């Protein structure tokens, strides 16, 4: 009995021109919303991926400390060694730039055959900007430079042993590509 009522209701809608137009409009609107939600959903995923790659300076220093601590524990055999890494500054972004250069020269000659020359060299550097999905403009980032290590302090029980101290300094300077003057090894006291 309910199927007869439903079939009758659908036949009435199909016979009404106004109802058919509304159904058609609602169907097109639904398809458009599905298309737009898929389009905007992909952009937010890409933006989230790029934001995840940015690492704070503190996290970078902590990761270096952990890696050096493993190396020092392997060299000394001690579990209670400590490492502290200090950084020059935070990570630096390198942005794409565009450079315009113009050069010009002028010469003037007077009646008594003296020549005066003037030349100019103008350079203009500007950042390349890209528009975001929200309409804002941002400089195009090419790469991110890791922070530079200012110094490393290592504290271990056998730090007063000259051979062990030199082994630790060699390991740290090689791992971080810094000079030995930036590494301090101290015995626990």
Could you report the per-residue pLDDT of 44-67, keeping only the tens digit for each? 444 444 444 556 788 888 999 999
pLDDT in tens, 178-189: 999 999 999 886
Q: Is the model more confident about 144 or about 6?
A: 144
Q: Among 145, 143, 148, which Cα is nearest to 177's?
A: 148
Cα(104)–Cα(80) distance, integer angstroms? 68
All structural domains of the chain with their residue ranges: 2-52, 57-91+146-187, 95-130
Cα(126)–Cα(99) distance, integer angstroms? 6
By DSSP bridging, strand 137-139 and strand 183-187 are unpaired
Is residue 182 within 8 Å of residue 153, measured between CB atoms? no
Q: Write down the residue that tokens 């790659």 correspond to.
A: 53
Per-residue pLDDT at 107: 74
Per-residue pLDDT at 82: 92
Q: Among 76, 86, 67, which Cα is nearest to 149's?
A: 86
What's the CATH fold of domain 57-91+146-187?
GMP Synthetase; Chain A, domain 3 (3.30.300)
Confidence of residue 103 (pLDDT cuts 50, 70, 90): confident
Q: Is the model more confident about 143 or about 69?
A: 69
Per-residue pLDDT at 155: 92
Is residue 64 within 8 Å of residue 85, measured between CB atoms? yes
Mean pLDDT of the chain: 80
Number of helical (H) and strand (E) elements in the chain, helices listed first = 4, 9
As a whole-number percent, the residues of the chain with pLDDT over 90 amount to 23
Cα(68)–Cα(154) distance, integer angstroms? 9
pTM score over 0.85: no
Cα(13)–Cα(46) distance, integer angstroms? 44
| Contacts for 87 with CB less than 8 Å, ≥ 6 apart | 57, 60, 61, 147, 148, 149, 150
Confidence of residue 39 (pLDDT cuts 50, 70, 90): low
Confidence of residue 13 (pLDDT cuts 50, 70, 90): low
């Amino acid at each position: 009995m309910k199927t007869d009522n439903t079939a009758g209701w659908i036949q009435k809608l199909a016979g009404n021109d106004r109802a058919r137009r509304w159904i058609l409009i609602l169907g097109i609107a639904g398809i458009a919303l599905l298309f737009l939600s898929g389009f905007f959903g992909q952009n937010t995923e890409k933006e989230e991926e790029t934001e995840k790659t940015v690492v704070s300076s503190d996290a970078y220093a902590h990761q270096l400390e952990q890696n050096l601590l493993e190396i020092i524990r392997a060299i000394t055999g001690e579990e209670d060694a400590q490492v502290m890494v200090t950084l020059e500054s935070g990570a630096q972004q390198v942005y794409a730039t565009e450079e315009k250069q113009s050069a010009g020269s002028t010469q003037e000659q007077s009646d008594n055959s003296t020549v005066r020359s003037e030349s100019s060299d103008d350079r203009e550097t500007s950042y390349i900007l890209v528009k975001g999905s929200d309409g804002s403009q941002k400089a195009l980032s090419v790469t991110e430079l890791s922070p530079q290590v200012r110094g490393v302090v290592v504290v271990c029980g056998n730090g007063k042993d000259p051979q062990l101290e030199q082994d630790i300094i060699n390991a740290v300077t090689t791992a971080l590509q810094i000079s030995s003057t930036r590494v301090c090894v101290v015995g626990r006291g």
